[in-house]
Amino acid sequence: MNGRLTPRERFGLLLIDEEPDRVVTYPLITSHAAKVLGCTVRDYCTSGNKMAKAQIAAWKKYGHDALSIFTGVGLIAEAFGSELHFADYDIPILLNPCIRNIEEIGDLKKPDPYNDCRLPVYLESIDICFETLGDILPVIVFIPSPFTTAGHLRGISEFLMDSIRHPEEAHMILKICTEACIDLIDACMKLGAHPMLVDPLASSSVISPMTFNKFAKPYLRQLTDYMHRFDLDTMLHICGETEEIIDDIPCTGTELFSFDKNDPGQTKSELGNNTRLIGNISPEEILMSDPATISNKVRSLVTQMKDTPKGFIISTGCVVPINTPEENISAFIDASHMHGKYRY
């Protein structure tokens, strides 16, 4: 293992504002782990045992600093009753939302994370990962946030229109989504996982800052407030552009912000004094570039960001694409280990 610290120790020092031996190295390896294990993405997404084995196999191959439990942002919506399409070699996507008419909102029943649909798959995977490697590795579980979950309950376009035409009903959906998120967060934390909120539909690439502030931010804050009751530093990932809402990120209550398309230097300047930053080698680059190019990009980013006052984790701007060449991920890890060292 590289360095004198375990990944859990390294991550823990970051969270208490102490300098670790090197930058925490955490590419968002999710369904790509299925390729490492040699199983289909469908099997990975529907079997907690295979998801755990794949995550462990990927860590043994690459040596990154945390495991990632995640199958797709439709997970909670599916447990409510939305239908997803599963493919052997792609992530699940929304097929049929469960709320076709606004009048059906009252029929929603909050799912049970221990029994409904694929929520127990998450819990089984966390349990295996934590029992196997939890003493040396953080197990990070991605929680689809209320705004994104609401879009998968109602249909994305329909929910965005609801926020304009039927704002009261939109808030009704968001409230029950928030309750379901809290139940899943609670179940995951009890098994030793560290939740990361993921809210891709809250991106400025999708909605306006006004919509973010009215319909996404308040519910993210409810989730972070809940986790703060357990003295837990919270993590938030939003895909795409977030520069237009960068001043609102601290208002969500998150201590760690995973960013995608933003300029790293500007994000460091605007947030780095008070928020730990996670990012942001693009998924397209790690998929399409060659190892030498990736090494150079990682070196440049680590050099630029490692002195972020509140701390920095080098990662990908979104999840590592399933078919990313393994040598590209190894180049990412190796370059971060080489150039991310602190005086320790």
- Domain housing 254: 7-339
Residue 301 tokens, joined:
């980013």
Does residue 148 have a pLDDT over 60?
yes
133 in a domain, yes or no? Answer: yes
Residue listed under structure tokens 């590289």: 2
- The pTM of this model reads 0.96
Beta strands in 134-262 (DSSP E): 139-144, 194-198, 235-237, 256-258
Query: Does residue 99 contact residue 53 with C-beta atoms inside 8 Å?
Result: no
H/E run at residue 224: helix 217-228
Q: By CB neighbour count within 10 A (0-12 exposed, 13-18 middle, 19+ buried), where does 102 fall?
A: middle
pLDDT at site 91: 93
pLDDT at site 344: 58
240 Rama sector, left if φ>0, alpha if ψ -120 to 50, beta otherwise: left
Phi, psi (deg, nearest 5) at residue 87:
-125, 160
Q: For the chain, how many structural domains are there in total?
A: 1
Count of Cβ atoms closer than 10 Å to residue 252 Cβ: 27
Residue listed under structure tokens 């909670």: 76
2 in a domain, yes or no? Answer: no
Q: Which residues contact 229 (CB under 8 A, 6 or more apart)?
A: none
Quick check: bond before 280 cis, omega within 30? yes
Total residue length of the chain: 344
> In 23-137, where does DSSP find H-type helix?
32-37, 41-46, 48-62, 75-80, 119-133
CA angle, residues 183, 186, 190, in degrees to nearest 5 = 145
Average pLDDT for 88-92: 94
Query: Does residue 188 contact residue 129 with C-beta atoms inside 8 Å?
Result: no
Residue 10 tokens, joined:
């390294």
Query: Does residue 241 contact residue 205 with C-beta atoms inside 8 Å?
Result: yes
Q: Which residues contact 189 (CB under 8 A, 6 or more apart)?
A: 195, 227, 230, 232
Please report, for the domain that includes residue 326, its CATH number. Answer: 3.20.20.210
Q: Which amino acid is at 224?
A: T
pLDDT digits 0-9 by tens, 168-195: 999 999 999 999 999 999 999 999 999 9
pLDDT class of 279 with cuts at 50, 70, 90: very high
203 in a domain, yes or no? Answer: yes
pLDDT digits 0-9 by tens, 14-68: 999 999 999 999 999 999 999 999 999 999 999 999 999 999 999 999 999 999 9
pLDDT digits 0-9 by tens, 113-130: 999 999 999 999 999 999
H/E run at residue 93: strand 90-96
207 in a domain, yes or no? Answer: yes
Query: Does residue 65 contact residue 25 with C-beta atoms inside 8 Å?
Result: yes
pLDDT at site 1: 41
Among candidates 152, 258, 140, which has minimal Cα distance to 192? 140
CA angle, residues 169, 171, 173, in degrees to nearest 5 = 75
344 in a domain, yes or no? Answer: no
Residue 57 tokens, joined:
């196999």
Query: Does residue 172 contact residue 140 with C-beta atoms inside 8 Å?
Result: no
309 in a domain, yes or no? Answer: yes
1 in a domain, yes or no? Answer: no
Among candidates 54, 56, 81, 63, which has minimal Cα distance to 24? 63
pLDDT at site 2: 46
Q: By CB neighbour count within 10 A (0-12 exposed, 13-18 middle, 19+ buried), where does 230 fall?
A: exposed
Average pLDDT for 210-238: 97
Average pLDDT for 303-318: 97
pLDDT at site 343: 76
Average pLDDT for 200-223: 97
Q: What is the dihedral of CA 319, 249, 341, 2, to 10 degrees?
A: -40
